[in-house]
Amino acid sequence: MEKSELQKLTDNKSERIACELSKGKSAVWTHFAHVAVDGTAVPFVKCVKCSSVLQWKSRDGTSGLHSHVEYCKSRAPQRKITSLSGFASVIQTPKLPSSVKSDVANVMVRWCAKDIRFLKSLHYLTYLTFLNISSRLS
Ligand SMILES: [Zn+2]
């Protein structure tokens, strides 16, 4: 059976698919289950976390599985903001009178001057907003 077909069956939670937790000694086996189709074991395993099907035979060892675990962990569930320009286009700054804008900027600047830890403790997103506002004002 092709991997893509198997993945489809798995995604559809087909009754033809059975998953069995591995008895393998490696810790990596807490992340994967062996897959059987129509009661017959196939050379595939399923990631418990993301339900991805991976081709796997016992002679392959577990290194490929380990790399999937790392990959799986690195995939953050939330959307990542990769650039300031991308961020600025998402956040639509409301049309505020410029006096209000400068007030906000002044408050933030004073905050920063008062306590430098402000920048470190503040959520990065808010920090970017601050940069955004400042650049619009200047
Ligand atoms: Zn996964």
Asked if residue 79 is part of any domain, the answer here is no
Other C-beta atoms closer than 10 Å to the C-beta of 114 total: 9
Query: Taking the model in full, what pTM does it have?
Result: 0.54
* Distance (Å) from CA 132 to ligand 1 centroid: 36
Asked if residue 125 is part of any domain, the answer here is yes
Residue 114: pLDDT above 90? no
* Distance (Å) from CA 95 to ligand 1 centroid: 44
Task: List, for residues 80-111, the tens digit of each pLDDT value.
Answer: 555 555 555 555 556 767 777 788 778 777 77
In what helix (H) or strand (E) does residue 43 lie, and over which residues does it extend?
Answer: strand 40-47
Looking at the 3D structure of the chain, how many domains does it have?
A: 2
* Distance (Å) from CA 55 to ligand 1 centroid: 13
Cα–Cα distance measured from residue 43 to residue 58, given in angstroms and rounded to the nearest whole number = 8
Q: Minimal CA–CA distance to 66: which of 76, 56, 81?
A: 56
Kindly indicate the confidence band of residue 37, based on its pLDDT and cuts at 50, 70 and 90: very high
Cα–Cα distance measured from residue 24 to residue 118, given in angstroms and rounded to the nearest whole number = 49
Kindly indicate the confidence band of residue 67, based on its pLDDT and cuts at 50, 70 and 90: very high
* Distance (Å) from CA 125 to ligand 1 centroid: 28
Pair 47, 101 in one domain: no
- Domain closes at, from 74, 98, 125: 74
* Distance (Å) from CA 51 to ligand 1 centroid: 6
* Distance (Å) from CA 7 to ligand 1 centroid: 13
Pair 50, 102 in one domain: no
Q: What percent of the chain has pLDDT over 90?
A: 47
